[in-house]
Amino acid sequence: MTNPVRKGLLLVVSGPSGVGKTTIVHEVIRRLGGEFSVSATTRARTERERDGVDYHFVDQTIFQRWIDEGRFLEFAQVFGRSWYGTLQDQVEQALGEGKLIVLDIDVQGARSVKQRMPRAFTVFVLPPDEDTLLKRLHARGREDEAAIERRFAEAKTEIDFARTSGVYNAFVVNDDLELAIDQLCDLVRAR
């Protein structure tokens, strides 16, 4: 029998590529306990990533089948290229078990989740400035120059959307990493 009192917390974290979401989210989960929502994506796996841990890496056919089967809480095409989607099962199971579940998803995804689950706590991570963001994208060394340019160009639009849409409950500036992690932990605890 399910216990109606055991409701978890759905934390949605968005922010431009390279701002530090992955770094922050995993440390927040380590400190507070909780689960990372492993999205499905059609993007190619990088050397450092593990299938089923960072993402479920799938091809277009499987992704489309999962759409048709209604398995996604939300899905979106990001940077006009690859598809990304949050698997409903994992989120519902974690919430049912009273856990904190953390989604690292883009602004389109955050808007969909907020519409479907208004109690979701949505946080947008901002860079201290544009130069720093560009430096971090380069420092990570994951994408080629063209992909970095695409991601950087998208950042302004995402930040404008985040500021004006009303989708986000809170903003955290990731300048000093420790401070940003502390701030997000405090926000979650207060929630």
Helix (H) or strand (E) holding 76: strand 72-77
| Binds ligand 5GP by CB under 6 A, chosen from 9, 10, 27, 104 | 104
CB of 104 to ligand 5GP, least distance (A): 5
> Is 10 an interacting residue with respect to ligand 5GP (CB under 6 A)?
no
Residue nearer to ligand 5GP on the CB measure, 75 or 188: 75
Residue nearer to ligand ADP on the CB measure, 44 or 139: 139
CB of 143 to ligand 5GP, least distance (A): 8
Instruction: Yes or no: say if 170 and 123 are a contact pair by the CB < 8 Å rule.
Output: yes
CA distances (Å), origin 138, targets 29, 50, 103, 191: 26, 21, 24, 35
DSSP category for residue 99 = -
CB of 82 to ligand 5GP, least distance (A): 7
| Backbone Cα Rg of the chain | 16
Instruction: Yes or no: say if 186 and 172 are a contact pair by the CB < 8 Å rule.
Output: no
* Residue ranges that bind ligand 5GP, judged by CB under 6 A: 14, 17, 39, 43, 74, 76, 78, 84-86, 104-106, 108-109
